[in-house]
Amino acid sequence: MKREILAYIAGFLDGDGCIMLQLVYRHDYLLGYQIRASVVFYQKQKYKTFLLWLKNQFNGVGYVRDRNDGMSEYTIVGIESVKKVLQVLLPYLRLKRKQADIALKVINQMPGSGRKMTASKLLFLSKDVDQFLKLNYSKRRVNTSEKLKAFLTKNHT
């Protein structure tokens, strides 16, 4: 992708996008929680074609959906997909640079294929995930490192 396109997309993410790391509870997971990484771009439904163009720029990764409030969103979820997107956009990000730096730091410390996440590693990484509470002005987030610690203490000691 050309540098001009990457800079344009990074600017769009800075203004109308979001980079997120979340602790997600999963009853079927051994440790009870996972770290979910996502990048989301938002736009009014009448400009949805722009989000489809954006998806095409990232080789069809992710999905575009319409919300009930007249907005559409293009969402990229998953450690590897988010890592690739953030790595190419990082040099051009301004407002979301800190979120991208933290997300890449956490992603790069996660166990690779064939290796399992340990309780201590998940708890360690969850402290960086907590930073997204403030950086993204999250009002509804309930899964924090403290909640994870309590869960692990109760279920994995």
State the catalytic residues: 15-16
What is the rounded CA–CA span in Å between residue 82 and residue 36? Answer: 10
Q: How far is CA 81 from CA 29, 30, 139, 154, in A?
A: 21, 24, 26, 33
Beta bridge pairs of residue 34: 24
What is the rounded CA–CA span in Å between residue 98 and residue 87? Answer: 13
Reading the block at residue 121, the tokens are: 């590693």
What is the rounded CA–CA span in Å between residue 136 and residue 154? Answer: 30
